[in-house]
Amino acid sequence: MKNIIILGATGSIGDSVLSVIKQNKDKLNLFGITFNSNFNKASSIINEFNLKNVYTDSSESSSYFRHTFKNNAELNIFSDKSELEEMLNSDQVDIIVSAISGFAGLESTILAAKTGKTILLANKESIVVAGEIVLPLAKKYNTKIIPIDSEHNAIFQCLDSEKSTDDVSKIIITASGGPFLNKSISQLTKVTKNEALNHPNWEMGAKITIDSASLVNKCLELIEARYLFNLNEKFFDLVVHPQSIIHSIVTYQDGSSICQMSNPDMRVPIAHALSVNDKRLNLNFSEIDFSSLQLTFQNIPEDRLGIIDIARYVCSYGGSSGIIFNAANEVAVQNFLEEKITFDKIYEVIYRTFDTIPMSKNIDIERIYEIDNQTRREAKKVVKSIT
């Protein structure tokens, strides 16, 4: 029996992990969760899984839980960072799922990297902004990181049994293209929030859905892959694949190309990651109908290549560049979701902010937070200048 903690259990990744656990109760057990403000959903998880350990850094949520579950003597409600560390480091815990969206997931991912457990990583932003810190920490503490983004998990599955990249020639990361694939950026001035959130293939949280629509998500995935697989960005190509059936392709030096295929369902990479080194888990999945399958591929739209170029620069430069890129994007996306800027202006906010903040090769945890704050202030100035 594997005991699992989900960091950010009330989000869309949390939903998928919980679904896999429910289908494999003889092998998987939910040991604990963290969440922020969605206490109604967290309450449902506690009741359904008879949960014993819950952490929230929201004082409102903590008070609500202590009142709601005051008669549940078996439930531990934690709200202090030291208590979170103690929960993560418990000898009973086997797997920690890092599922908090955005930069907010960095702190808990760093804590998880120090545990010596297995991390199932969905929080790509923690690697984008701090790959040079998180990965060495994980190595120091013998913490195993298994990506559960569909693209990175596909690469992980396609690599040889020792997960070596020594004989890799090329890795192709696919992109659905999102809802605006056949529209130029100049045609996106009047698209609505609901249109942008209407992804053709995936059901995801709001932030990642907007990132998918802008193709910034592919930028973040490219940067994350550069760190996770320790390869120069020149080894990676990005290709639009509207059906989202092939999630990544690894081509070896002998000309063999191996891909991972599945219908778009986040439970598939999660189930794989939860079963690494063991027999694969059972999953109620939708099979691919190969008798009628049609797969198409096309280049990244030309007017999106500028944002991809920035991601490639981040891959090469490292240091603070990923922090700046991520923070600028998060501010732009939030302002679009709040309907303060139009969709096309997401790119302008990123470009102008990225060109403004001076970059440094040397970063540490304290500097990451300083640079993130500085970048958000500058990005908000850009937003104000165009509204």
What does the pLDDT look like over 89-132, one tens digit per residue? 999 999 999 999 899 999 999 999 999 999 999 999 999 999 99
Q: What is the DSSP letter of 104?
A: G
Q: What are phi and psi of 79, to 5 degrees?
A: -140, 0
User: What are the tens digits of pLDDT across the range 241-291?
Assistant: 999 999 999 999 999 999 999 999 999 999 999 997 788 999 999 999 999
Cβ-contact 146, 156 below 8 angstroms: yes
Tokens 């930028």 sit on residue: 219
Closest CA relative to residue 9, chosen from 40, 28, 25, 23? 40
Contacts of 158 (CB under 8 A, 6+ apart): 248, 249, 250, 258, 259, 260
Average pLDDT over residues 30-41: 91
Q: On the CB side of 239, how many CA atoms lie within 13 Å of its CA?
A: 20
Q: What is the DSSP letter of 301?
A: P
User: What are the tens digits of pLDDT across the range 53-93?
Assistant: 999 988 887 888 788 887 787 888 898 999 999 999 999 99
> How far, in Å, CA of 312 to CA of 298, rounded?
20
Measured CA distances, 130 to 105, 117, 345 (Å)? 11, 19, 26
Cβ-contact 357, 378 below 8 angstroms: yes
User: Which residue intervals of the chain are DSSP H helices?
Assistant: 12-22, 39-49, 59-68, 81-88, 106-113, 124-140, 150-158, 193-196, 206-214, 216-228, 267-274, 305-317, 321-337, 345-356, 365-385
Percentage of the chain surpassing pLDDT 90? 80
Residue-level pLDDT at 89? 97
Closest CA relative to residue 122, chosen from 346, 334, 274, 331? 274
Question: Domains along the chain?
Answer: 2-147 (3.40.50.720), 318-387 (1.10.1740.10)
Whole-model pTM? 0.94
Residue-level pLDDT at 162? 61
- pLDDT at residue 199 is higher than 90: no
